[in-house]
Structure 1
Amino acid sequence: MAARMTDGGNIPGTGYHDRNATSSDEWNLQNVLPNTGKPWYKQRHLVLLNLGMIIPYLSSTTNGYDGSMLNGLQSMSQWQHFFGSPTGTRLGSLSNGVIFGQILAFPIAPWLCDHTGRRFPIFLGSSLLVIGAVLQCAAQNYAMFLISRMVIGFGGLIAVEASPMLVSELAYPLHRPVLVGYYNNLWYLGALLAAWVTYATYFMGLHTSWAWRIPSLLQGFFPLVQVLFVYLLPESPRYLVQQDRHEEAREVLTKYHAGGDEHSPLVDFEMQEIILQIQTAKAASKTGYREFLSTGGNMHRLFIIVAVPCMMQLSGNGLISYYLHLILNSIGFTSDPQQLRINGGLMVFNLVVSVILASLMELAGRRRLFLSSTIGMLICYVIWTVLSAVNEQRHFKDSSLGTGVVVMIFIYQICYNAGLNGPPWVYVTEVLPTHLRAKGTNIMQIASTCVLIFNGYANPVAMDAIGWRYYVVYCCVLAIEIGIVYFGFPETKGHSLEEVALLFDGDEAFGDRLTKSLV
């Protein structure tokens, strides 16, 4: 039970007044937003804050570069010859090399986020990514290439866990959903660059290993930018409050949310919400990860943070992300340059579509996007499966069927981007309270890793063994996902990070304080 208000409603030990002692009409986000009469892009403090989000975004960009680069390398004769044309589990191990590194980082990443803040893990993880990229470029054999990918996975997980948390906890309240939505969309920027870099270096010559070494080295560029500039960003105010550094947190909010106005009602509102939620959470907090099993609300959160990453990776997109080469082979598109152009064109398409959809995300809401996305993907996969089956029966002589599959892949990506690219990180950071956010993000990464291991080994083996018939599995999975979203995902649109707790915990979200002013 959180401590009761004393001294006329003051929050003990903070110097802040309990806003629930004030009229609910007076205390709500819309009433405390500053009315400057200017759009955000004409307010220097908001421009600087939003531009600064590019630094944590680059963690997602590096992730996207990795997936697309491996797709491109598989379509390069130079890489295939150097590593002996790996297939099946041997190829799956290269894809899963990053996953093996992530597994080693799981115990470390949440501890770093909880005890060192959000910026240091980004710095540390990005430094390791630079080292991994150099090793990958210098690889002399299969084993060295695999080890370099493990280093990339280890550093990448540390940076990826902290990055969306920093964006979510630092963003201006009205901009948070779109800014967090952009985080995962920047995956496609890295994927796009990797696709066209591998296409360009392919023409360096059939007998030069630099055709694949250059793309491998460039994987370290974005992490290097993060290493150099991450400390130009302020620390998360929610982390600072969690560490009882209230004045530092207020300085961050005053500078970046209120443009230096020390008497801003918005800053007062945010500080009081953050302090109230964190104090209540600390008072009720159990031991470590077991807290996810302590209440019905936390178990519901646990269900969501496991379901969301499984949907992100197990909706058939894993085939496109890492094994587009095998898909294109299965429909008769076997030319190296042709595959590289399709891969590059798909990434350009994805980047444009995902940014547009993320900009509109706040209009539709999270649950509606999840539903429309899963339904659309199921329809695409059914058509894709039928076209692939007929194409095989006709011995790949009808090129229009192969073209139809490629078209369905592009339409599928629209549906995927609508619900499973931008919204997941927004949704997960919203449903998790501050004191559980690092641990919850870690659980999300563990769930994602388990599915990625499955994708890494099962997908290439199954595609080699049964071809298009494997798509039926994903049709069934997508049908199950529709039911999960419909029955298990509440709508969080229109609530602050602290207010979302009411959807899961009810009146217990803020202890024994009144909650009517939040709704």
Structure 2
Amino acid sequence: MFSGNALPSAISDRHQRLAGPQGIRGIVANGQIFAIAVFASLGGLVYGYNQGMFGQILNMSSFAKTVHPESISNPTARGLLTAILELGAWVGALSNGYIADKLGRKLCVDVAVFVFVIGVIVQACATAPSYILGGRFITGLGVGSLSMVVPLYNAELAPAEIRGALVSLQQLSITAGIMISYWIGYGTNFIGGTGDGQSKAAWLIPICIQIAPALILGVGINFMPQSPRWLMSVGREEECLQTISRIRRVDTENELVALEFLEIKAQHIFDQETSQRLFPEYQNHTFKSDFMLGFHAYARLFTNRALFKRTLVSILIMMFQQWTGINAILYYAPFIFQDLGLTGNTVSLLASGVVGVVMFLATIPAVLYIDNLGRKPVLICGAIGMAICHFVIAGISASFDGSWDQHSAAGWVAVVFVWIFVVHFGYSWGPGAWVVIAEIFPLGVRAKGISIGASSNWLNNFAVGMATSDMLASMKYGTYVFFGLITSIGAAYIYFLVPETKGRTLEEMDELFNDTTGQGQKDLEQMDKIWHELGMFNDVLPNVSHIINSHEKGSIVLAEV
């Protein structure tokens, strides 16, 4: 047996030898996987569009007349209209771990799209605030599910050397959705004029148009490959092997395909044996037993020391992402820019549109370089940059609040620092947080672990959405000081407590998070036994076609090699 990380390095060395290029060259070399990930990331575009769109229509006079003006003018009521979607998304993301494991990643997307479309239809029929509240909650259920399953799907298809780039596509799509929504909202704002005569189409078009990308995703995902890791988890090993071969564009006898298949199989065997050891009473595969296994899998994320380390990282990294204040800006940008001295709805909406463009452009480098630079340096640099922007905006607001008409240049400087803040978020915490939570969990609890992280994102998103309107009204420049301090703490958390995951396979994450004593050592020894039984340390890997479905009753039958 081995101690610490000594033995797994043999597998790591083999993987490093077989790994392809990173960055742009890696994306080109894996063009098929990249195209699949781009399509799947339509889920992010839907999510981002919804984020940016609502802040735009809140500022439209025709929308205010439809849902009653006091619902918009009152900070608390406006906060609830905005944040209710995040509450629904929290529920959707939290419950989606079980659904993604039970139905598969692709069917899970279809369910999320169906729920999302129902919510949009309810909003489009709005005649009172209750329609918006109910519709946005239902829409949130779908958005939350998509926010969890898309990075999960992309992470499970991606080779380690470009996994960060492919998961980052989710955030790039989110920023694309935000950018598109801002400019659509800016354009439709003029339908019927910007005053009391404004047409209902000004806000109905931005709401209804989001159905189109959702339906394209729901139909198209059925033509995409299934996740090989999910196929392994449900016993469809031949399909798993063929899928790996197809997406890597080499035959099933290729050493890279064999190694990836054996790594996935080893993790699956480990999860099965652990489940049988811990919960022997739930191995009869009835609905009740499967539900209870799912429940205990969620519970293990908090009761198992090694898993709790990962769970804590996923919860906290998403908490810090939201309390950078990014969604305070996305949701309330028109109101913030008015507070910073920009006059007129049209000007503030135009300034908001620049936020969308800037964020989209800033996210592109993350897709190209996060696998080269690593997760930690990018997150730390971004947090420091955002904190500085918050403090500068706070200083300008404290100096000139109440006299913006006499200091318009100062107002525009503050606006520029809002744009710079968005740049720092775009290349760092926007994609980086999703990359980390998508790759740190083992196969058996990956979907559930990501759902915990995504639910943390949405719960904190809800809190930010509810609090920001009142914070801006009562704390004024203190709001930016608060966000700046939280962001600074986030930088320290990443530096001291989060391990670097760059270049690690999903199965190698155990090396980063497992203890070397107690249960962690026992788990490593158990995995060591499985690796040896599967022949993963042989000079020549076994013929994987001969060992499919061969792990029965704790034994593995290997072919002659």
Q: 1:27 to 1:356 in 2, by over 3 A?
A: closer
C-alpha displacement of 1:360: 1.2
Stretch of structure 1 that moved more, 266-275 or 358-367: 358-367
Q: 1:198 to 1:265 in 2, by over 3 A?
A: same
SS at match of 1:511: helix
Q: Distance in 2 between matches of 1:467 and 1:165?
A: 39
- 1:192 is the counterpart of 2:207: no
Q: Which residue of 1 aligns with 2:58?
A: 74
Q: Which residue of 2 aligns with 1:31?
A: 17
Contact 2:99 2:108 in 1 (8 A): yes
CA deviations over 1:156-188 (Å, ceiling 9, x no partner): 222222111110001234322211112112111
Correspondence 1:84-233 to 2 at 5 A? 84-85=68-69, 86=72, 87-106=74-93, 108-206=95-193, 207=197, 208-233=199-224
What letter matches 1:32 in structure 2? L
Contact 2:191 2:202 in 1 (8 A): yes
C-alpha displacement of 1:396: 3.9
SS at match of 1:234: coil
What letter matches 2:247 in structure 1? Y
C-alpha displacement of 1:395: 4.7
Q: Which residue of 1 aligns with 2:526?
A: 511
Q: Distance in 2 between matches of 1:147 and 1:425?
A: 28
C-alpha displacement of 1:463: 1.0
Stretch of structure 1 that moved more, 128-137 or 315-324: 128-137
Q: Distance in 1 between matches of 2:527 and 2:51?
A: 48
Q: Distance in 1 between matches of 2:8 and 2:497?
A: 35
In structure 1, the gaps of 5 or more residues are 5-19
Correspondence 1:434-513 to 2 at 5 A? 434-505=443-514, 506=516, 508-509=523-524, 511-513=526-528
Q: Distance in 2 between matches of 1:296 and 1:41?
A: 36
Contact 2:19 2:161 in 1 (8 A): no
C-alpha displacement of 1:484: 1.3
C-alpha displacement of 1:131: 2.3
Correspondence 1:29-428 to 2 at 5 A? 29-33=15-19, 46-85=30-69, 86=72, 87-106=74-93, 108-206=95-193, 207=197, 208-257=199-248, 259-285=249-275, 286=278, 287-392=296-401, 394-428=403-437
Q: 1:405 to 1:255 in 2, by over 3 A?
A: same
Q: Distance in 1 between matches of 2:221 and 2:104?
A: 12
Q: 1:393 to 1:94 in 2, by over 3 A?
A: closer
C-alpha displacement of 1:34: 7.8
Q: Distance in 2 between matches of 1:397 and 1:131?
A: 48
Contact 1:326 1:460 in 2 (8 A): no
Q: 1:391 to 1:482 in 2, by over 3 A?
A: same
Aligned length, in residue pairs? 495
Contact 2:92 2:143 in 1 (8 A): no
Q: 1:509 to 1:166 in 2, by over 3 A?
A: farther
What letter matches 1:96 in structure 2? A
Q: Distance in 1 between matches of 2:140 and 2:12?
A: 48
CA deviations over 1:389-446 (Å, ceiling 9, x no partner): 1121545410111111111111111211232111112111221111111111221122
Contact 1:373 1:420 in 2 (8 A): yes
SS at match of 2:159: coil
Q: 1:290 to 1:26 in 2, by over 3 A?
A: closer
SS at match of 2:401: helix
Contact 2:48 2:175 in 1 (8 A): yes
Q: Distance in 2 between matches of 1:395 and 1:401?
A: 8
Q: Distance in 1 between matches of 2:7 and 2:503?
A: 23
Q: Distance in 1 between matches of 2:423 and 2:318?
A: 18
Q: Distance in 2 between matches of 1:476 and 1:176?
A: 31
C-alpha displacement of 1:278: 2.1
CA deviations over 1:169-223 (Å, ceiling 9, x no partner): 0123432221111211211111111111111111111321011000000121111
Q: Distance in 2 between matches of 1:332 and 1:138?
A: 35
Stretch of structure 1 that moved more, 82-91 or 102-111: 102-111
Contact 2:315 2:456 in 1 (8 A): yes
Q: 1:369 to 1:273 in 2, by over 3 A?
A: same
Contact 1:273 1:498 in 2 (8 A): yes
What letter matches 1:143 in structure 2? S
Q: Distance in 2 between matches of 1:229 and 1:262?
A: 26
Contact 2:87 2:459 in 1 (8 A): no
CA deviations over 1:18-37 (Å, ceiling 9, x no partner): xx9999389612333589xx
In structure 2, the gaps of 5 or more residues are 279-295, 538-561
Q: Distance in 1 between matches of 2:112 and 2:344?
A: 37
SS at match of 1:343: helix
Q: Distance in 2 between matches of 1:438 and 1:143?
A: 33
What letter matches 1:97 in structure 2? I
SS at match of 2:253: coil
Q: 1:246 to 1:140 in 2, by over 3 A?
A: same
Q: Distance in 2 between matches of 1:368 and 1:316?
A: 20
Q: 1:26 to 1:201 in 2, by over 3 A?
A: closer
SS at match of 2:226: coil
RMSD: 2.6
Q: Distance in 1 between matches of 2:527 and 2:245?
A: 29
Q: 1:294 to 1:134 in 2, by over 3 A?
A: closer
Contact 1:331 1:396 in 2 (8 A): no
What letter matches 1:513 in structure 2? D
CA deviations over 1:22-53 (Å, ceiling 9, x no partner): 99389612333589xxx66777xx43332121
SS at match of 2:506: coil
Q: 1:403 to 1:283 in 2, by over 3 A?
A: same
C-alpha displacement of 1:298: 1.6
C-alpha displacement of 1:104: 4.1
Q: Distance in 2 between matches of 1:50 and 1:468?
A: 43
Q: Distance in 1 between matches of 2:178 and 2:493?
A: 29
Q: Distance in 1 between matches of 2:441 and 2:27?
A: 30
Q: Distance in 2 between matches of 1:378 and 1:90?
A: 29
SS at match of 2:476: helix
SS at match of 1:432: coil
C-alpha displacement of 1:246: 1.0
Using structure 1 for the length normalisation, give the TM-score: 0.89
What letter matches 2:208 in structure 1? L
Q: 1:373 to 1:40 in 2, by over 3 A?
A: closer
